[in-house]
Amino acid sequence: DAKTTQPPSMDCAEGRAANLPCNHSTISGNEYVYWYRQIHSQGPQYIIHGLKNNETNEMASLIITEDRKSSTLILPHATLRDTAVYYCIVRVAINTDKLIFGTGTRLQVFP
């Protein structure tokens, strides 16, 4: 699975959009980009995933660049409850679907 690089921490004002970047320059054609988050010491929570196209769900939007070497997770209106560590994971969907977590981005949403 391709390696990902994320900034260690980011701040965002409540009500503003939080844009979390992820670099995955060695991604290959059959690898998906997944985002999970972990609030304090709770179990990680799935947010969204995509292959090539941009994706949106009730939680967030995922923008993947055309060359697929990077992506951005967008939380459109961040709230205090969005304070968490966000993990960007690249995964090949064959045979096993273990998740390899990096160090993630610690997002702090402030009032």
Partner 1 sequence: DSGVTQTPKHLITATGQRVTLRCSPRSGDLSVYWYQQSLDQGLQFLIQYYNGEERAKGNILERFSAQQFPDLHSELNLSSLELGDSALYFCASSDRSGQGENEQFFGPGTRLTVL
* Among residues 42, 53, 66, 67, the one that binds partner 1 under rule CB under 8 A: 42
Whether 84 and 39 have beta carbons less than 8 Å apart is answered as yes
Q: Write out the DSSP string of 2-55.
A: ---B--SEEEEETTSPEEEEEE-TT--TTEEEEEEEE-TTSPPEEEEEESSS-E
Q: In whole angstroms, what separates CA 15 from the centre of its chain?
A: 19
Asked if residue 53 binds partner 1 (CB under 8 A), the reply is no
**Least Å from the CB of residue 63 to partner 1:** 18
Binding to partner 1, residues 11-40 (CB under 8 A): 32, 38
59 interacts with partner 1 by CB under 8 A: no
Q: With contacts defined by CB under 8 A, name the span among 4-12, 21-29, 46-54, 76-84 that binds partner 1.
A: 46-54
Read off the DSSP letter of residue 76: T
State which of residues 66, 81, 96, 111 lies at the interface with partner 1 (CB under 8 A).
96
φ/ψ (deg, to 5) at 82:
-85, -5
Q: What is the contact surface with partner 1 in residues (CB under 8 A)?
A: 32, 38, 41-46, 49, 51, 87, 93-103
